Amino acid sequence: MSTLDKLITNCLRRGIVTRSIEAKEYELLGAELKGLINRRFARSFNIREVDTGSCGACEAEIIAANNPLYDISRFGVNFVASPRHADALLVTGPVSKNMVLALKKTYEAMPEPKFVISCGDCAFDGGVFLNSYYVEGGISKVLPVAFHIPGCPPTPLEIIKKLLTVLNKL
């Protein structure tokens, strides 16, 4: 069998993996989120992610929200490569002094209307890094933050749940 044949057979055998996730709740939430994004954001809600000094675990969970099991993009949430394409900025980390300028510039590069979501406990107020000489102590010290996703790190399920409430309130 050629590699391509194998790939196709595998796909057929495996079926749609996204369904095998244990949390049924997730699919319901997703459907709701999708409806919301369809109405409010013309089917696609684009996020630009910035790390301002996270420990890396928050990033890993945001990546996990994009894996084939959670596959958040099928609900209309896309992570985009440029701030120019973004509706919202998702920011992790307590804001290291070195990232203040880059964070501001990324925000400025986004088209209006736009808003900021902070992600993870240390992005809220510095978390475990509070009182360090080199952190600003939360995203809200630098940019206006509309919403916060708590957790250290928040799980992919928590991320999507929070996104749902966020967009509902908008």
The binding site for ligand SF4 (CB under 6 A) comprises 54-55, 57-58, 92-93, 120-122, 127-128, 152-153
Among ligand SF4, other proteins, none, the one that 136 touches (CB under a kind-dependent 5 to 8 A) is none
CA 140 to chain centre: 17
Is 149 a residue that touches other proteins (CB under 8 A)?
Answer: no
Helix extents (H) in 47-99: 57-65
Is 135 a residue that touches other proteins (CB under 8 A)?
Answer: yes
Q: Environment class of residue 53 by beta-carbon count within 10 Å: exposed (0-12), middle (13-18) or buried (19+)?
A: buried
CB of 166 to ligand SF4, least distance (A): 17
Among other proteins, ligand SF4, none, the one that 46 touches (CB under a kind-dependent 5 to 8 A) is none
Binding string, residues 21-60; x marks residues near other proteins by CB under 8 A: -x--------------------------xxxxxxxxxxxx
At how many degrees (to 10) do helices 156-169 and 57-65 cross?
70
Checking phi first, is residue 143 left (phi over 0); if not, alpha (psi -120 to 50) or beta? beta
Helix extents (H) in the chain: 3-14, 24-40, 57-65, 100-109, 121-125, 156-169
Any idea what DSSP says for residue 128? G
What kind and span of H or E run contains 148?
strand 147-149
Q: Looking at beta carbons only, is 18 or 151 nearer to ligand SF4?
A: 151
Q: Report CA-CA distances (Å) from 22 to 18, 19, 29, 157, 170.
A: 10, 8, 14, 11, 30
Q: Looking at beta carbons only, is 59 or 125 nearer to other proteins?
A: 59
Among ligand SF4, other proteins, none, the one that 168 touches (CB under a kind-dependent 5 to 8 A) is none
Is 118 a residue that touches other proteins (CB under 8 A)?
Answer: no
# binding residues, other proteins (CB under 8 A): 52
Name the site residues for other proteins (rule: CB under 8 A): 3, 6-7, 10, 17, 22, 49-64, 66-70, 79, 81-82, 93-94, 96-102, 106, 122, 127-129, 131-135, 152-153, 155
